[in-house]
Amino acid sequence: MKDYIRILNYQPHTVSKEFIADPNRGLNTFFSFHPLTEVRQKLHLLLRAWLRQVNVYAEPSDISAMLLFQEQLIEFMEVSYVKGVKDGYLPKPVNHPKN
């Protein structure tokens, strides 16, 4: 665990030692408070707010970078959710396909 704390200490972080020891619990907690559909909506709203804020001053490359970041962050959240369901520490959604 000390190695993970050392890695995170290169940047400010708020990850508790409990979640470093058991990342699955951290993912479970996150998705318990923020269902995946809401995560997508909130990220979209954050991007829209950012675009309104910088609309006059933003360079096209900055806007493209932010759109790419949003898409990759949503993909990361979706993959994290799928991993949690596959590993069994997140409940399967009601409409989850049966294997």
- Structural domain range at position 53: 2-87
The answer as to whether 31 is a domain residue is yes
In the chain, the percentage of residues whose pLDDT exceeds 90 is 19
pLDDT on residue 1: 62
Write out the DSSP string of 3-68.
HHHHHHTTS-----HHHHH-HHHHHHHHHHHS-HHHHHHHHHHHHHHHHHHHTTT--HHHHHHHHH
Number of domains in the chain: 1
Q: Is the pLDDT of residue 9 over 80?
A: no
The answer as to whether 72 is a domain residue is yes
**Mean local confidence (pLDDT), 25-40:** 89
pLDDT on residue 42: 92
Alpha carbon distances (Å) from 31 to 10, 68, 71, 91, 99: 26, 23, 18, 10, 23
Q: Is the pLDDT of residue 88 over 80?
A: yes
The answer as to whether 39 is a domain residue is yes
Residue where the block lists tokens 């993912």: 27
Gap between the Cα atoms of 10 and 86, Å rounded = 31
Give the model confidence (pLDDT) of 34-72 as tens digits: 888 899 999 999 998 988 888 777 788 988 998 999 999
The answer as to whether 98 is a domain residue is no
The answer as to whether 56 is a domain residue is yes
The answer as to whether 50 is a domain residue is yes
pLDDT on residue 10: 58
Q: Is the pLDDT of residue 94 over 70?
A: no
